[in-house]
């Protein structure tokens, strides 16, 4: 799920609480921790549902330990299962102390039963833990707990609801989705424990930039926040929204406050799973959807400009992995761009760019699965077939020694000939300097009108590279002398002379290859830190530091981009999916000598293949 957290994070911005589902077999996973941290940053109440308790090796006590160690010590069971693994058929509600068994036909129908003696001791101990946890959240409840040794039913019910809404207690519930066990009890818990929009104000930003909030008042000025966009091949762009305040009516014209443009809203719909129910209006605190808004995107505010209320912008993680995409048929080339922009509306964490150096179309995402799902959407929704290929590494070339060189272009034809002659000095520059050109001509050895042509030829030669066809950078080229012919010299001749001079210089300037080095941040459980650092060293990485955050270790390193192309698969396999990473470009560094020949050969093969395709 780590590849798709952007949608979850956007959805958490518009709800009153989060229901965090945990696998009863494997316990807390890395995506669970990420969702938990996001919900905590938004100060959302959280209910924890332990699902798949009917599976082999499922265990509520073991999962509770995992929850308390990883997420919060305040995770407290409010349900207790009767039966383990395949024998799990019933649940005890620790608040009401009633037991329920569920129909075997998957209908979810619950029938009350008595609590069996086989689980009585575990149930009593779990309830005592629940009562104590609730009492600790309120001084008055604590006093009554010490006086009576327990809490009354009303105190427990009301105290639990208050503790959940204040994020002091995180109730743990039991279910089996496959057998539809526990569904009604989960629905009742959500109704009883989750605050309604009427009592929980929506956070936002005031005109002066300070944090504020807005109550869900249907009679207040209209504020509608679009939190997600869906690209539908038939309905076009569908905007999902929450009405922060006011009442949003169908067939009305509203202002897009973010983009300062009017929007015509057609039919409003309430989304109920895959079905859509048209509604005449959507009130404050409710969610809805509207299709075909002209200029509205995720994160925009619609409504009354005088409401003086905006929302903190949605933030989307940077892409960590890129693949080159190649259309299977030439007819799909034009369709890719249009389709990708529609998918970016839906998922802004997708990147789609053309590499100016390699000319690759790059599709970027949060991981390999994210990219593969995006490719599947292209095929399923828009009929665009593409192949994924590892991206070309944007190597560079530079020089390591200063030298002088001479370039002469002379050609005699039937009429006017061609003549251009120049002498240059080349010298290496500091990293990041690019290509500098200097005119140091004295005495008119090259007429002024031809110097720009020399510069153009020099820069063209640098762009084409010398070793492997990669652009040359970090060097200074100075033209200091030359000669010309009154009749045969022209701009083309001096441009060719500039090219030849650069190629002559490269034979003595000891050119070398540069590779992009990425700043990488890896986070994983501390148990894996040693193996991960060993793997990074094997990838020619330089460890820059490490920190401990709870049970996780964060490793910072600088690693060549070419070594990171397959890193996601390695990290997932070595950490059981509990690790994640982020990387961004840091600098260029010289490629070790033993890799030069391999890179040059691969570049030559690519250029030969491209030439063959062009001829075909």
> What percent of the chain has a predicted confidence (pLDDT) above 70?
95
CA–CA dist 255, 238 (Å, integer): 17
pLDDT band for position 444 (50/70/90)?
confident
Tens digit of each residue's pLDDT (9 = 90 or more) over 110-158 = 999 999 888 999 999 999 999 999 999 999 999 999 999 899 999 999 9
In this prediction, residues 377-394 reach a mean pLDDT of: 84
pLDDT of 286 over the 90 cut: yes
The domain 321-386: what is its CATH number? Answer: 3.30.70.870
Q: How many CB atoms lie within 10 A of CB 82?
A: 21
User: Which DSSP string corresponds to 251-263?
Assistant: SEEEEETTTTEEE
H-assigned helices in 237-316: none
pLDDT in tens, 218-231: 999 999 999 998 87
Give whichever of 60-74, 345-359, 366-380 has the largest mean pLDDT: 60-74
| Beta carbons within 8 Å of 172's beta carbon, 6+ residues apart | 48, 49, 50, 60, 64, 67, 75, 76, 77, 78, 79
Which pLDDT belongs to residue 1?
Answer: 44
CA atoms within 13 A on the CB side of 182: 27
Map residue 415 onto helix, strand or coil: coil
Q: Residue 297 pLDDT > 70, yes or no?
A: yes
Strand, helix or coil for residue 512:
strand
What is the CATH T-level fold of the domain 17-195, as seen in this structure?
Answer: Rossmann fold (3.40.50)
pTM above the 0.85 mark? no
Answer CATH for 397-509 from 3.40.1350.10, 3.30.720.110, 3.90.1170.50, 3.30.230.10:
3.30.230.10
Rounded mean pLDDT, 25-42: 83
Least confidently predicted of 59-73, 224-238, 308-322, 517-531: 308-322
Q: Which residue has the higher pLDDT, 270 or 344?
A: 270
- pLDDT reported for residue 480: 95
Cα–Cα distances (Å) from 284 to 165, 246, 276, in that order, read 20, 5, 19
Of 5 and 441, the structure prediction assigns the larger pLDDT to 441
Cross-strand pairs, 287: 242
Q: What is the mean pLDDT of residues 527-543?
A: 93
Q: What is the pLDDT of residue 414?
A: 64
Give the residue with greater pLDDT, 506 vs 608. 506
Tell me the C-alpha distance between 113 and 556, whole Å: 56
| 393, pLDDT greater than 90 | no
Topology alike, domains 321-386 and 514-594:
yes
Q: Is the dihedral of CA 427, 429, 433, 434 positive or negative?
A: positive
Phi, psi at 34, each rounded to 5° = -65, -45
* C-alpha neighbours within 13 Å on the C-beta side of residue 408: 8
Yes or no: say if 137 and 151 are a contact pair by the CB < 8 Å rule.
no
| CATH class of the domain whose range is 514-594 | alpha beta
Structure tokens at 54: 């009917």
Q: Higher-confidence residue: 546 or 33?
A: 546
- For the chain, the domains span 17-195, 202-307, 321-386, 397-509, 514-594
- What pLDDT shows up at residue 31? 74
* Residues in Cβ contact with 93 at an 8 Å cutoff, skipping those fewer than 6 apart: 78, 79, 99, 100, 185
Residue 373 has pLDDT above 50, yes or no: yes
pLDDT single digits (tens) 157-207: 999 999 999 999 999 999 999 999 999 999 999 999 999 888 888 999 988
Alpha helices in 136-248 (DSSP H): 139-148, 153-165, 183-193
- Give the lowest-confidence range in 168-172, 260-264, 519-523, 610-614: 610-614
Mean pLDDT of 471-496: 93
| Spatial separation of the C-alpha atoms in residues 66 and 578, rounded to whole Å | 14
Residues contacting 111, CB < 8 A, separation 6+: 100, 101, 102, 103
Residue by residue, DSSP assigns 354-409 as E-TTT--EEEEESSHHHHHHHHHHHHHHH---EEEEPPPP--EEEESS-EEEEEEE
Let me know: does 247 contact 284? Beta carbons within 8 Å. yes
Count of beta carbons in the 10 Å neighbourhood of residue 371: 23
Q: Are strands 435-439 and 475-483 parallel, antiparallel or unpaired?
A: parallel
The answer on pLDDT for 571 being more than 80 is yes
- Containing 615, the helix (H) or strand (E) segment is helix 593-615
Instruction: Give the DSSP letter of residue 283.
Output: E
Of 371, 368, 342, 337, nearest to 354 by C-alpha is 337
Q: Is the pLDDT of residue 612 over 60?
A: no
Which range, of 39-43, 161-165, 606-610, 611-615, averages the lowest pLDDT? 611-615
The C-alpha torsion from 524 through 527 and 533 to 534, rounded to 10°, is -140
Alpha carbon distance, N-terminus to C-terminus of the chain:
43
- For residue 318, what pLDDT is reported? 63
Q: How far apart are CA 421 and CA 410, in angstroms?
A: 8
Q: Which CATH code of 2.40.30.10, 2.30.29.30, 3.30.1280.10, 3.30.1360.100 fits the domain covering 202-307?
A: 2.40.30.10
- Give tens-digit pLDDT for 323-370: 888 888 777 777 888 888 888 888 888 888 877 666 778 888 877 778
Residue environment code for 442-459, b if the CB has 16+ CB neighbours within 10 A, otherwise e: eeeebeeebbebbbbbbb
Q: For the chain, what is the mean pLDDT?
A: 88
């Amino acid at each position: 799920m780590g590849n798709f957290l952007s949608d979850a994070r956007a959805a958490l911005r518009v709800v009153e609480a989060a229901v965090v589902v945990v696998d009863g077999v494997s316990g807390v996973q890395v995506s669970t921790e990420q969702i938990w941290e996001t919900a905590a940053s938004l100060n959302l109440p959280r209910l924890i549902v332990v699902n798949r308790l009917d599976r082999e090796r499922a265990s509520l006590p073991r999962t509770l330990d995992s929850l308390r160690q990883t997420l919060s010590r305040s995770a407290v069971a409010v349900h207790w299962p009767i039966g383990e693994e395949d024998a799990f058929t019933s649940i005890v509600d620790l608040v009401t102390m009633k037991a329920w068994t569920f129909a075997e036909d998957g209908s979810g129908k619950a029938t009350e039963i008595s609590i069996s003696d086989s689980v009585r001791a575990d149930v009593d101990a779990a309830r005592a833990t629940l009562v104590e946890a609730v009492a600790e959240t309120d001084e008055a409840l604590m006093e009554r707990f010490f006086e009576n040794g327990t809490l009354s039913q009303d105190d427990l019910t009301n105290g639990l609801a208050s503790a959940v809404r204040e994020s002091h207690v995180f109730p743990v519930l039991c279910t089996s989705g496959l057998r539809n066990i526990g569904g009604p009890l989960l629905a009742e818990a959500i109704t009883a424990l989750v605050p309604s929009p009427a009592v929980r104000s929506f956070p936002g930003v005031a005109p002066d930039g300070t944090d504020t909030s807005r109550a869900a008042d249907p009679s207040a000025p209209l504020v509608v926040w679009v939190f997600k966009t869906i690209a539908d091949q038939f309905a076009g762009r569908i905007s999902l929204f929450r009405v922060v305040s006011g009442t949003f009516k169908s067939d009305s014209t509203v202002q897009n406050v973010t983009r300062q443009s009017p929007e015509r809203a057609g039919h409003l719909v309430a989304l109920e799973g895959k079905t859509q129910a048209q509604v005449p209006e959507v009130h404050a605190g409710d969610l809805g959807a509207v299709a075909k808004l002209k200029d509205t995107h995720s994160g925009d505010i619609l409504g009354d400009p005088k409401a003086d209320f905006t929302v903190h912008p949605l933030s989307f993680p940077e892409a960590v992995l890129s693949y080159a995409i190649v259309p299977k048929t030439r007819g799909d080339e034009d369709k890719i761009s249009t389709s990708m922009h529609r998918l970016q509306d839906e998922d802004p964490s997708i990147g789609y760019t053309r590499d100016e150096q390699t000319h690759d179309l790059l599709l970027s995402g949060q991981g390999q699965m994210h990219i593969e799902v995006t490719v599947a959407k292209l095929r399923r929704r828009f009929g665009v077939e593409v192949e994924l290929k590892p991206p070309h590494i944007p190597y560079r070339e530079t020089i390591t020694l200063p030298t002088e060189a001479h370039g002469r272009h002379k050609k005699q034809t039937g009429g006017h000939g061609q003549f251009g002659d120049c002498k240059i000095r080349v010298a290496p520059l500091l990293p990041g300097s690019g290509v500098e050109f200097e005119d140091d001509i004295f005495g008119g050895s090259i007429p002024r009108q031809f110097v720009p042509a020399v510069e153009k030829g020099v820069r063209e030669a640098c762009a084409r590279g010398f070793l492997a066809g990669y652009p040359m950078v970090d060097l200074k080229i100075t033209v200091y002398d030359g000669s010309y012919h009154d009749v045969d010299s022209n701009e083309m001749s001096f441009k060719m002379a500039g090219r030849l001079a650069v190629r002559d210089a490269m034979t003595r300037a000891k050119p070398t290859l540069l590779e992009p080095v990425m700043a990488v941040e890896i986070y994983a459980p501390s148990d894996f830190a040693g193996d991960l650092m060993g793997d990074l060293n094997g990838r020619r990485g330089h460890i820059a530091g490490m920190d401990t955050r709870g049970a996780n270790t964060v490793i910072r390193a600088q690693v060549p981009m070419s070594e990171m192309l397959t890193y996601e698969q390695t990290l997932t396999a070595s950490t059981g999916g509990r690790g994640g990473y982020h990387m961004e470009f840091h600098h260029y560094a010289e490629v070790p000598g033993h890799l030069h020949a391999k890179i040059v050969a691969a570049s030559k093969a690519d250029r030969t293949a491209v030439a063959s395709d062009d001829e075909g």
